[in-house]
Amino acid sequence: MPTRQSVETDWHEGFFGPWVVLPDVTHGIRAGTIPCNRPAATRLMGFDDKGDMSTEQRALLATVLVVLIFIGYQYLFLRHEEPPAPAKPGASSQGATPVVPQPAAVHLTPAPLRGRPTLPEAPEREVVVETDLVRAVFTTKGGTVKSWQLKRYTAAGGRAVDLVAPAAGPWGPLLAWSGKLEDATPLDFEPDKRELTLKSPAETGTITFSSRSGGPLRLVKRLTFKGDSYRVDVKLSWKNTGTKPVVILPALAWGPGFHDSLGKQRSGLLPPTSWVDGRRVTDDVEKLQGVASHSGAVSWTALHDLYFTAALLPEAGGAAATVRKDAGGQPLVALAAPAQTVKPGQEATQGFVLYAGPKEIDRLKAAGPNLDSIVDLGWFDFLARPALYLLRLLYRFSGNYGLAIILITVLQKVAFHPLTAKSLRSMQAMQALQPKIAAVQERFKNNPQKKQQETMELYKKHGVNPMGGCLPMVLQIPIFIALYNALQSSVEMWQAKFLWIKDLSQPDALFTLDIWGLKNYPFNLLALLMGATQFVQQKMAPAAGDPRQAKMMLYLMPTMFTFMFWSFPSGLVLYWLVNNILQIGQQRWLERRGKLAPRVAATD
């Protein structure tokens, strides 16, 4: 992937930040036109421990809300029966994360170990590793990482993305210890070389850090790099140079913090995540008390944001994933291997794997088992993953991810053409029946049972299915959610350009304005174009019910959608915009070819 320029814009900020809406669910529908005469009583979304919604939950919530707005209107203003008793929402429970009662924050302050001979402190030195993908800088203080730059991904100012947060203190990523982290002392290490450069993709190289500790345990850390991989093999060896057996608890960590989690702007850091016993386990850092430990079949533990991750994987079974935070609230994840006894003169070795790079599914799969599961594509993962592969295939064909988004939207529209046409015909038929339905409601307003019976007879007489306009759209909802999540989670969108858009993972921000006290407020042309096409769609749609309500929704819905999409990544807005344009063209084409059902005469 070629290096791309960047735009210093945080798409998480803006109007209606927590809302997500999916395309096509309300295409071409005015108030009262969805022919579903029963209210939906579903509860398909939930909240995490912080009260925030995940990407999947936000997406489905907004989809259901939009559908319920129209179904609710149909029920309240055009209803044909008494409302059923409200369904009781089912209570959902989730297993609690086992947490060891500890102080509110783990203060990672090194404490000298008693009885250990002290050596003169050596000056800090740096060790640099360069591959085609990564430039990593290590320090001899603790043998940890000071910088981990991804050479093919740039951040603000054209700088390479750095996965190491500039945390204060002696601790850092790839810190290794053999007991309690809080009692550990960062060791001085002696590297076997000062730099390592891998010039070809197939080349491998190793750097070895040997501790200078004067205690009974001597730690050797071996890091093996590959020229074309973000994976690093880590071997930790403890040799007992004393006269008594020593019990060790080998552990390796990443943190505190990740990427831009310490930045002044809002960070995109996601909760620390582990894969244990074949399921995802997350920890709420703000509520974390002490150390959270997850045991079982641990595949990996990781710090990550939407596009990048630093994940630790065990080479052997029996490891536990632990999560803690430092005094500044920054998370630190670690893998802790089972306790081992090292006899005098003997050595114990523990292997780990580090993956520190972009969330590219193919690379994640190659790095270790189940690591590709860190890309959370939601409940419709089985649909979203093929969509991601299709997006990449279309990129290879078109050479531009903007064009790939347009092509995948066209393919989706072609695939759902029969369902969309059926929905439009059903809505048009329902529109024609509205005067008759209103007359029945007025005639039997004091007899709900008779009103319902006459309404169903009216549907039967004119061959109208009251669910005909709703069901085709409901069947498409999983596809829309899957496409949304595929675009939302695709690292390929990072810094991808299209027309005036400099980064498809950010709002397009054609220029900035100082308006109403806001400095450098982005002017997002793409969101405005999307709102305009939404208005055209609303105006074209078959209308029914109270004309005043329909007129209100004609202006309300496009305005609401524009505000909700204002801070979305431009790749998602482009997808919806193209979908709107195709929907308008599809309806025009059906009308000109006489494919839409004629209106039912009011006097029949």
Can you give the pLDDT at residue 206?
Answer: 96
In a domain, 94, yes or no: no
Residues 385-409 pLDDT 10s: 888 889 889 999 999 999 999 999 8
Residues 178 and 71 in one domain: no
| Residue 93 burial (CB count, 10 A) | 5
Residues 574 and 431 in one domain: yes
In which band, very low, low, confident or very high, does the pLDDT at 6 lie, cut at 50, 70 and 90? very low
Give the contacts of 269 (CB within 8 A, at least 6 positions apart).
258, 259, 260, 261, 303, 304, 305, 331
Does residue 52 register a pLDDT over 80?
no
Range 327-345 average pLDDT = 90
Residues 407 and 535 in one domain: yes
Residues 367 and 229 in one domain: yes
Least confident interval from 116-125, 170-179, 341-350:
116-125
Residue 231 contacts residue 222 (beta carbons within 8 Å): no
Does residue 593 register a pLDDT over 80?
no
In a domain, 4, yes or no: no
Residues 434-490 pLDDT 10s: 778 778 877 887 888 888 888 888 777 777 776 666 666 676 778 778 877 888 788
Can you give the pLDDT at residue 169?
Answer: 56
In which band, very low, low, confident or very high, does the pLDDT at 263 lie, cut at 50, 70 and 90? low
Does residue 288 register a pLDDT over 50?
yes
Does residue 509 register a pLDDT over 90?
no
Does residue 503 register a pLDDT over 70?
yes
In a domain, 603, yes or no: no
In which band, very low, low, confident or very high, does the pLDDT at 11 lie, cut at 50, 70 and 90? very low
State which of 318, 352, 375 marks the end of a domain: 375
State which of 375, 407, 422 marks the end of a domain: 375
In which band, very low, low, confident or very high, does the pLDDT at 579 lie, cut at 50, 70 and 90? confident
Least confident interval from 285-299, 568-582, 583-597:
583-597
Can you give the pLDDT at residue 115?
Answer: 37
State which of 349, 375, 401 marks the end of a domain: 375
Can you give the pLDDT at residue 589?
Answer: 82
Can you give the pLDDT at residue 51?
Answer: 44
Residue 198 contacts residue 223 (beta carbons within 8 Å): no
In a domain, 123, yes or no: no
Residues 328 and 278 in one domain: yes
C-alpha neighbours within 13 Å on the C-beta side of residue 62: 23
Residues 435 and 476 in one domain: yes
Does residue 357 register a pLDDT over 60?
yes
Give the contacts of 65 (CB within 8 A, at least 6 positions apart).
none
Does residue 214 register a pLDDT over 50?
yes
How many secondary structure helices (H) and strands (E) does the chain include?
10, 24
Residues 352 and 247 in one domain: yes
Residues 581 and 559 in one domain: yes
Residues 357 and 401 in one domain: no
Average pLDDT, the chain: 75
Conformation bin of residue 24: beta by default, left when phi > 0, alpha when psi is -120 to 50: left
Structural domain containing residue 228: 131-375
Does residue 304 register a pLDDT over 90?
yes
Highest mean pLDDT, choosing among 335-339, 423-427, 555-559: 335-339
Residues 202 and 268 in one domain: yes
Percent of the chain with pLDDT over 90: 29
Q: What is the dihedral of CA 357, 360, 365, 370, to 10 degrees?
A: 80
Range 572-590 average pLDDT = 87
Can you give the pLDDT at residue 602?
Answer: 36
Residues 242 and 356 in one domain: yes
In a domain, 75, yes or no: yes
Can you give the pLDDT at residue 332?
Answer: 92
Does residue 567 register a pLDDT over 60?
yes
Residues 94-114 pLDDT 10s: 333 333 333 334 444 444 433
Does residue 412 register a pLDDT over 80?
yes
Length of the chain: 604
CATH at 357? 2.70.98.90
Residues 74 and 201 in one domain: no
Does residue 569 register a pLDDT over 70?
yes
Does residue 539 register a pLDDT over 60?
yes
In which band, very low, low, confident or very high, does the pLDDT at 282 lie, cut at 50, 70 and 90? very high
Which is higher by pLDDT, 537 or 113? 537
In which band, very low, low, confident or very high, does the pLDDT at 120 lie, cut at 50, 70 and 90? low
Structure tokens at 254: 């990443």
In a domain, 38, yes or no: no
In a domain, 11, yes or no: no
Can you give the pLDDT at residue 50?
Answer: 44
Does residue 501 register a pLDDT over 60?
yes
* Rounded distance between C-alpha atoms, residue 27 and residue 412, angstroms: 14
Can you give the pLDDT at residue 581?
Answer: 92
In which band, very low, low, confident or very high, does the pLDDT at 264 lie, cut at 50, 70 and 90? very low
In which band, very low, low, confident or very high, does the pLDDT at 574 lie, cut at 50, 70 and 90? very high
Can you give the pLDDT at residue 550?
Answer: 66
- Tell me how many domains the chain contains: 2
Can you give the pLDDT at residue 69?
Answer: 52
| Residue 334 burial (CB count, 10 A) | 24
In a domain, 103, yes or no: no
In which band, very low, low, confident or very high, does the pLDDT at 278 lie, cut at 50, 70 and 90? very high
